[in-house]
Amino acid sequence: MATLIIEGGRQLRGEVTASGSKNGALALMAATLLVEGEVVIHNLPRIRDVLTMVEMLRCLGAKPRLSDDGTLVVDASEIITNEAPSHLVSKMRASFQVLGPLLARTGSARVGIPGGCNIGQRPIDLHIKGLTALGATVLNDGGIVEAESSELHGARIYLDFPSAGATAQIMMAATLILGSTTIENAASEPEIQDVARLLNKCGARIQGAGSDTIHIEGVKRLHGAMHDNIPDRIEVGTLALAALNTGGDIFIRGAVSEHCNAVLLKMQEVGARVIEETDGIHVSPLRRPVLAVDLVTLPYPGFPTDLQQPMGAVLATAAGSSVITEKVYEGRFRYLGELERMGAHTRVEGQTAVIRGVTRLHAAHVTAYDLRAGAAMAIAALGAEGTTVISDVEHIRRGYENFEQKLNSLGATVRTGDTPLEEGSSCLE
Ligand code: EPZ
């Protein structure tokens, strides 16, 4: 089991470059299944989830080639099966995004139910509602979702929650379904906008991505294109919070501040100096300790749930008590128990957590329960007294490219028992 060993008390200083968006990459890769031709996508992060999706595309016949510099070449002209290998879907929820594209391309698809994970139940009812509205018969036997239709058609779909995954799924499927489709109460994440940009380059007719209403006019086929993945706004927020928690001063090259407005404004509330430059963001502390704040996680453009845990790690040593309300996932407070092992004072009541700041955390042996909890533990460790050991850091490998290398390049002391990235896993069940 890989661990991270982090020596606390060293300020992060210097420049680091943001990697390509994990969540954007996974959606862009699923979208390539819609295209009869070669798609080239630059700036994919070399992380486990991307490698899993490469395997998924390979199993479906899309002949993916991922180079060391993060450029992916895919040609999904020949889909060889419309059944996604369950062992890949169970490894990563985003794999479920291939359902809509396979349905639209071939008229039917079979994809395993994505597992829940440590942050909540992760339902798929809105995905199913959308594809059903588009004319598919969707069967969900609890293990496999089968969708098929001889007559897909445009539809007007209202999402009860602005689900990023469901919005992407429906938008992608609708690009190849003749007729008009409207998604109301759609998610507006930058990653959704970027998928629409790629598909429109391929000949799709999508309008309104980035707003709460997206219109799609279906077309018969999509052609190849070239695209640059956007920077990872969650990694940017993670690095900025790590710098703040160590009293450091860093420049994050490539960061797009408009993708992180809620996070940067909340950081300024707690006492960070944030300077937005044309090619990145400068972060340093205006005051120490940071100030306690209240925080509510919301769909984009609200404060992202993916940075709730990293922010909680910073608030553990704020001057005063902070109140965090987690409105997106019901299971995203488990990391607070691990912060308690480092001396934090927290109390959870339902979807609300109160964090009473202490002067400084101390080292402990803690566990990363999920990807962003792992990042939160690393942030806490960087500011703590002593050397902290974090277990189950495979989670971090899934979503952060060169995580320890980036921290060490900024002056941290992070050691790890490395587990090589998986390449070439089987397509068999
Ligand atoms: C995406 O997950 C991200 N993952 C998540 O990032 C992120 O936390 C989430 O969006 C919210 O921003 C990827 O893009 C791969 P959702 P997704 O559908 O699409 C409810 C990370 O750490 N919901 O927007 O699965 C659901 O219960 C990961 O990088 C339904 O009710 O998120 C939740 O409350 C974690 N029915 C809310 O929507 C559905 O059919 C958010 O889910 C689908 C979702």
- Give 274's strand partners: 283
3-class state of residue 41 by DSSP: strand
Q: Is the pLDDT of residue 244 over 50?
A: yes
pLDDT at 143: 86
Q: Is the pLDDT of residue 248 over 70?
A: yes
pLDDT at 116: 55
* Angle 139-140-141 from CA coordinates, rounded to 5°: 115
Q: Is the pLDDT of residue 224 over 90?
A: yes
Answer yes or no: is the C-beta of 124 below 6 A from any ligand 1 atom.
yes
Q: Is the pLDDT of residue 221 over 70?
A: yes
Place of tokens 């607070």: 336
Tell the residue nearest (CA) to atom 34 of ligand 1: 328
pLDDT at 75: 98
d(CA 200, CA 205): 6
Q: Does 117 qualify as catalytic in the annotation?
A: yes
Do the first three CATH levels of 3-19+231-416 and 22-228 match, i.e. the same topology? yes
Q: Is the pLDDT of residue 46 over 50?
A: yes
In this structure, what DSSP letter does residue 80 have?
-
pLDDT at 420: 47
Output the CA 175–ligand 1 centroid distance in Å: 22
Q: Is the pLDDT of residue 419 over 60?
A: no
Yes or no: say if 160 and 124 are a contact pair by the CB < 8 Å rule.
no
pTM of the model: 0.96
d(CA 329, CA 18): 26
Tell the residue nearest (CA) to atom 6 of ligand 1: 306
pLDDT at 92: 87
Give burial (CB, 10 Å; 0-12/13-18/19+) of 296.
middle
pLDDT band at 423 (very low <50, low <70, confident <90, very high): low
Q: Is the pLDDT of residue 386 over 90?
A: yes
Specify whether the backbone of 280 is left (phi greater than 0), alpha (psi in -120 to 50) or beta. Answer: left
pLDDT band at 285 (very low <50, low <70, confident <90, very high): very high
Average of per-residue pLDDT across 227-245? 98
Sequential DSSP letters for 366-386? EE--SHHHHHHHHHHHHHSBS
pLDDT at 89: 87
Yes or no: say if 324 and 339 are a contact pair by the CB < 8 Å rule.
no
Answer yes or no: is the C-beta of 329 below 6 A from any ligand 1 atom.
yes
- Mean of all residue pLDDT scores within the chain: 95
Q: How far is CA 59 from CA 86, 112, 297, 399, in A?
A: 11, 14, 36, 22
Superfamily covering domain 3-19+231-416: Enolpyruvate transferase domain (3.65.10.10)
Q: Is the pLDDT of residue 429 over 60?
A: no
Report pLDDT digits (tens) over 61-94. Answer: 999 999 999 999 999 999 999 999 988 888 888 8
Report pLDDT digits (tens) over 323-382. Answer: 999 999 989 999 999 999 999 999 999 999 999 999 999 999 999 999 999 999 999 999
Q: In the chain, what are the domain boundaries?
A: 3-19+231-416, 22-228
pLDDT at 217: 98
Report pLDDT digits (tens) over 167-192. Answer: 999 999 999 999 999 999 999 999 99
Average of per-residue pLDDT across 417-429? 58
Answer yes or no: is the C-beta of 328 below 6 A from any ligand 1 atom.
yes
Output the CA 288–ligand 1 centroid distance in Å: 34
Answer yes or no: is the C-beta of 367 below 6 A from any ligand 1 atom.
no
Which tokens go with 361?
């955390």
The fold for domain 22-228 equals UDP-n-acetylglucosamine1-carboxyvinyl-transferase; Chain (3.65.10)
pLDDT at 418: 53
Answer with the residue of higher pLDDT: 364 or 141: 364
Tell the residue nearest (CA) to atom 43 of ligand 1: 124
